[in-house]
């Protein structure tokens, strides 16, 4: 066999090897492999999306855990702020402008600033409509129905979530003139 005959024989052999049946089989195998590749790609994309969602959820849970841990600490600090406010409210007028009283007021303002910097905000209660999600009704007295007429203990939110409800007195809907008439 000469070198010139080999390529011709190879071409003839290649043509013989690819009969119409084999060609159809190869097309089917290719289509099958393409389908598998598409399925693998779709599965990979789903896995990638699931992983991205997992990372987002894990980060969100971590942030919620940190906020919850802060909430516990902040709840234990709020009674100290309440005591400080009560002490400042009871200072006799003759000492109200003394330097030591101003120093205590400064400490109280700094305390509030630190709480606000950490997302703690007081709940508005006095004169507002009673909201069971924010207020805890301790008693009911004469006054406009459903309106908070006194605040016994301030309530606070932490990053727009309830930290401690405001303890309030709610109006019953009766006034002093109505009771005098009856």
CATH code of the domain in which 150 resides: 2.30.22.10
- 176: pLDDT confidence band, cut at 50, 70 and 90? low
- Please count the CA atoms within 13 angstroms of the CA of 44 that sit on its side-chain side: 6
Residue 36 — pLDDT band, cuts 50, 70, 90?
very high
How many domains does the structure of the chain reveal? 1
Q: What is the pLDDT of residue 7?
A: 54
70 part of a folded domain: no
pLDDT at residue 108 in the model = 94
pLDDT at 178: 55
Q: Which residue has the higher pLDDT, 33 or 16?
A: 33
Is 141 part of a structural domain of the chain? Answer: yes
For tokens 């902040």, the residue is 74
- pTM for the full model? 0.62
Residue 164 domain-assigned (yes or no)? yes
Least confident range from 30-34, 90-94, 173-177: namely 173-177
Residue 101: partners with Cβ closer than 8 Å, 6 or more residues away: 88, 91, 95
Q: Does some domain include residue 129?
A: yes
**Higher-confidence residue: 9 or 150?**
150
Choose among 108, 122, 173: nearest CA to 151.
122
Question: Residue 138's pLDDT is what?
Answer: 93
Q: What is the mean pLDDT of residues 49-66?
A: 92
Give me the sign of the Cα torsion angle 82, 85, 90, 95.
positive
Per-residue confidence band for 18, with pLDDT thresholds at 50, 70 and 90: low
**Phi/psi of residue 123, each to 5°?**
-90, 130
What tens digit of pLDDT does each residue of 111-146 get?
999 999 988 999 999 999 999 999 999 999 998 888
The boundaries of the domain holding residue 157 are 120-182
> Does residue 182 lie in a domain region?
yes
Query: Rounded to the nearest 5°, which phi and psi values hold at 96?
Result: -55, -30
In angstroms, the CA 138 to CA 135 distance is 9
What are the backbone angles phi and psi of residue 149, rounded to the nearest 5°? -105, -15
Task: Determine the Cα–Cα distance for residues 16 and 9; give it in Å rounded to an integer.
Answer: 10
Q: How confident is the model at residue 159 (pLDDT cuts 50, 70, 90)?
A: confident
Average pLDDT over residues 50-66: 92
Of 13-22, 49-58, 59-68, the one with minimum mean pLDDT is 13-22
Average pLDDT, the chain: 86
**Domain-located, residue 103:** no
């Amino acid at each position: 066999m000469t070198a010139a005959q080999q390529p011709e024989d190879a071409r003839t052999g290649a043509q013989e090897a690819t009969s119409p049946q084999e060609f159809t089989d190869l097309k089917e195998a290719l289509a099958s492999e393409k389908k598998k590749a598409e399925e693998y790609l779709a599965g990979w994309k789903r896995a990638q999306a699931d992983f991205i969602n997992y990372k987002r959820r894990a980060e969100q849970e971590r942030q919620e855990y940190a906020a919850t841990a802060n909430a516990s600490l902040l709840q234990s600090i709020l009674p100290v702020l309440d005591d400080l406010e009560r002490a400042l409210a009871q200072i006799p007028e003759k000492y109200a402008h003394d330097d030591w009283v101003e120093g205590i007021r400064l400490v109280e303002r700094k305390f509030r600033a630190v709480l606000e910097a950490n997302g703690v905000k007081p709940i508005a209660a006095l004169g507002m409509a009673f909201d069971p999600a924010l207020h805890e009704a301790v008693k009911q007295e004469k006054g406009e129905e459903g309106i908070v007429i006194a605040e016994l203990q301030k309530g606070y939110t932490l990053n727009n979530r309830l930290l401690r409800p405001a303890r309030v007195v709610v109006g019953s809907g009766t006034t002093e003139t109505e009771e005098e008439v009856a």
